Amino acid sequence: MKPVPHPRHTLGLLAYLAAVLAVSFIHAPLVLSGLIGVVLVAAGRARWRLGRRSVLAGLGVTLCVGGGYVLMSLWRGEFHGLVVLRLALRVGLLTFLGCWFVSRGNLLRAVAFSPSLARLTAIAAGQVAVFTTLVRNFRLAAISRSGGLRLTWAQRLRQGASLSAQLMDKAVANAEQNTRALRARGVLDD
């Protein structure tokens, strides 16, 4: 079934993209903090649910990139705490905006004005569903094998490595298959 374009969703997507672009040019922590406050107020009653989702989504990025920066800068003797603060605020604001858009907008309807974008979005959504299913199946298999007991660190590391290898293998295979399918339909005509 072909998605029907809807101006509200398209305008929401354009507003989200404009906000992402604007936020990437803001470097003052006070302004970023103020924008987070404005967005929290504007989100209304959904602010706590969206805030929780955005913190969980952005925490890994913030910890990995921020932790890497802290370690590298301390090793080189050039630590600037403002960089870490700016990173955390920007990631928090961007993930909140992303979660807010996803909760209120329909991406397929937002890009329905362009058949090529709609097709690519549908393919990406399908890939997300495949990967989500794969991660859930791996988690359920680990629980089943452990008899419901908490996994040790070694077991979790093996599970994570196995899942990562499976995800990479599936991503490469699906990328090749999708590229062939898109070329066959004329989407990637160069």
Structure tokens at 175: 């990328």
Count of all residues that appear for the chain in the document: 190
CA dihedral 130, 13, 98, 22 (to 10 degrees): 140
**CA gyration radius for the chain?**
20
Q: What is the pTM of this model?
A: 0.71
Angle between helices 47-76 and 81-104 (to 10 degrees): 150
Contact 178, 126 (CB under 8 A): no
Per-residue pLDDT of the chain (190 residues; tens, 9 = 90+): 666 767 888 898 899 999 999 999 999 999 999 999 999 999 989 889 999 999 998 888 899 899 999 999 999 998 888 999 999 999 999 999 999 998 888 888 888 888 888 888 888 888 888 888 988 988 888 888 887 788 888 888 888 888 888 888 877 777 788 788 878 888 776 5
Domains of the chain: which residue ranges?
7-109, 114-184
Cα–Cα distance between 141 and 164 in angstroms, integer? Answer: 15
